[in-house]
Amino acid sequence: MSKIKTQPQQAINTNKKEVINEFDERIKSTLDEGRKELIAKRHERGYRSARENLNHLCDKDSFLEYGQLAVAAQRQRRDIDDLKKHTAADGIITGLATINADLFDEQSSRAVVIVNDYTVLAGTQGVFHHKKLDRALELAAELKRPVVMYTEGGGGRPGDTDYELSLNLGSFAAWAGLRSQVPMISVNNGYCFAGNAALFGCADITIATKSSWIGMAGPAMIEGGGMGSYKPTDIGPIESQSKNGVVDIVAEDEAEATRIARQVLSYFQGCTNNWSCADQRKLWPLLPADRRFVYKVRDVITTLADTDSFTELRRDYGCGIITGFVRIEGRPFGLICNDCQFLGGAIDAEGALKASRFLTLCNDFKLPLLSLCDTPGFMVGPESETEGAVRKMSDMFVAGSRLKSPMVAIFLRKGYGLGAIAMTGGSFSRPVYSASWPSGEFGAMGLEGAVHLGFKKELEASKTDAEREILFNKLLNAMYERGKATEAASYLEIDAVIDPVDTRKVIIQALGNKHE
């Protein structure tokens, strides 16, 4: 019978030590401490590394990484040690983590995290990069977890040699297919072109720093298409992309963008127990005594909402309607609100499009809606029609008709015409509760226009301008008396007229137990 040969214990221990050392060095090569020169260049630009953003986003020690040891598919043209050093994780960090676990239970706080790493081949998308991305998106779909993705990068990578280039990719369909299934948040800093821009634009919420340039093609592709030579900073600067609605939230830098991403995600994670709010007696004085004067409605929002809970989306786009998220007694709400400082609160085509998309987003994730209405109606006129007003304004009714999440409507002042109806989901009776402040006024159209249109003959019959003005004001006052909030409530046009100080209480009462 043969004897089994065994190694001396000392040799075994030596081999184990070598294996562990090799393992430690391999892991270190993927971390910032093993890539100090590349990270230093990043810092010189005033930017953070991918892993610094990752650590800020995720709760401490909660990140479970997938595919950490991947390198670019370029073994045929580059030494493996070079690939380990310069193509760590193949330019994309993916995994599962908890975010905001201090506010919510572990299940509610779990998320998929994807961070493109610009220090690896300018953040371009290679073979294994896509495989890792696909794996992460499969997990998000399977586990029904929200996704936060950092998108900085230059698009497709032409330099991978180990596999033939293929356009048969699943990443874009998989990412876009998550729409309405799980919350999708994209964050960008720096250059974001081509495929990376497509990923950025598919998200439900897009956040970008002031140092962002986002475009569906970078300089090389534009020049290659014979369309001229441009610098990267000529393409999709933040000033343009915030005004045209591509970017929902503009952040100062990566630190603020990451903080905002955590806050935005929290609205989809549930209710919080700890909250505070301003003295609600401050609400009523925010409206001017003269109904013709404008006011800062964002002051109303921040006073009404829980302290520091208001996050606005697309501030520079569709400015007549404000959209965003707030909390009332810790409960998250989607918010739509008219801004009387822009077109007097009239809803133009762009504002309607903005509102429609936001209503759909809230409905997808069953976020209750708070509508603060003060509008003279839809914007009218030949110029408005050239903007596709009929289609875009009608889409607002379509989005409202599909709402399954509850809405509470509060009329701050004007509730006129089709615009006011659209602000309440398509009907004043559609919200679970519709109430007005005492300043509310209602009608089929703005009072001044109604007088001019309905009493044209009487006004024209006036002998002098002074006589005409006296008659106009008399008719206007009579119409105001018929359309003021208390009269509208008496005809059951709305459910109630409330003291502004009770607004928060009314909203919560209308929706019932926030933990239901």
208 and 98 part of one domain: yes
260 and 280 part of one domain: no
Measured distance CA(129)–CA(473) in Å, rounded: 69
Measured distance CA(398)–CA(380) in Å, rounded: 20
- Beta sheet of 64-66, edge-to-edge order: 64-66, 92-98, 110-116, 147-150, 184-193, 205-215, 249-251
Closest CA to 293 of 360, 325, 340: 340
pLDDT for 149-199, tens place per residue?
999 998 888 777 777 656 778 899 999 999 999 999 999 999 999 999 999
Q: Is residue 455 part of a domain?
A: no
**Partners of residue 110 on adjacent β-strands:** 98
Q: Which of 266, 286, 311 is the last residue of a domain?
A: 266
254 and 284 part of one domain: no
364 and 382 part of one domain: yes
Closest CA to 395 of 374, 418, 412, 417: 418
262 and 288 part of one domain: no
243 and 307 part of one domain: no
Q: Is residue 503 part of a domain?
A: yes
211 and 309 part of one domain: no
Closest CA to 30 of 71, 80, 74: 71
414 and 378 part of one domain: yes
Q: Which of 199, 231, 266 is the last residue of a domain?
A: 266
The answer to whether 346 touches 379, Cβ cutoff 8 Å, is: yes
Q: Is residue 240 part of a domain?
A: yes
Q: Please report, in angstroms and rounded to a whole number, the separation of the first and last CA atoms in the chain.
A: 73
Q: Which two tokens stand for residue 124?
A: 């371009």
311 and 279 part of one domain: yes
User: Strands 92-98, 64-66: parallel, antiparallel or unpaired by DSSP?
Assistant: antiparallel
Q: Is residue 456 part of a domain?
A: no
> 338 φ, ψ to 5°?
-80, 145
Q: Is residue 379 part of a domain?
A: yes
386 and 277 part of one domain: yes
**Partners of residue 191 on adjacent β-strands:** 213
In the structure, how many helices (H) and strands (E) does the chain have? 21, 15
Measured distance CA(320)–CA(400) in Å, rounded: 18
Measured distance CA(178)–CA(158) in Å, rounded: 27
Identify the CATH number of the domain in which residue 158 sits.
Answer: 3.90.226.10
Within 13 Å, how many C-alpha atoms sit on residue 51's CB side?
21
Type of residue found at 394: S
Sign of CA dihedral 485, 490, 495, 501: positive
241 and 336 part of one domain: no
Total domain count, the chain: 2
Q: Which domain holds residue 301?
A: 273-440+484-511
pLDDT of amino acid 14? 65
User: Strands 369-375, 92-98: parallel, antiparallel or unpaired by DSSP?
Assistant: unpaired
Q: Which two tokens stand for residue 179?
A: 């729409």
Residue pLDDT tens, the chain, 516 long:
555 566 666 655 667 777 787 787 878 888 889 899 999 999 999 999 999 999 999 999 999 999 998 888 788 888 888 788 888 888 999 999 999 999 999 999 999 999 999 999 888 888 889 999 999 999 999 999 999 999 999 888 877 777 765 677 889 999 999 999 999 999 999 999 999 999 999 999 999 999 999 999 988 889 888 999 999 999 999 999 999 999 999 999 999 999 999 999 999 999 999 999 999 999 999 999 998 899 999 999 999 999 999 999 999 999 999 999 999 999 999 999 999 999 999 999 999 999 999 999 999 999 999 999 999 999 988 999 999 999 999 999 999 999 999 999 999 999 999 999 999 999 999 999 999 999 999 987 666 766 666 777 777 778 787 877 777 777 777 777 777 999 999 999 999 999 999 999 999 999 986 544
Measured distance CA(349)–CA(390) in Å, rounded: 8
Q: Which of 219, 251, 266 is the last residue of a domain?
A: 266
Q: Is residue 36 part of a domain?
A: yes
> Any residues with CB less than 8 A from the CB of 136 and at least 6 apart, and which?
66, 94, 95, 112, 114, 147
362 and 244 part of one domain: no
Q: Is residue 461 part of a domain?
A: no
Q: Is residue 260 part of a domain?
A: yes
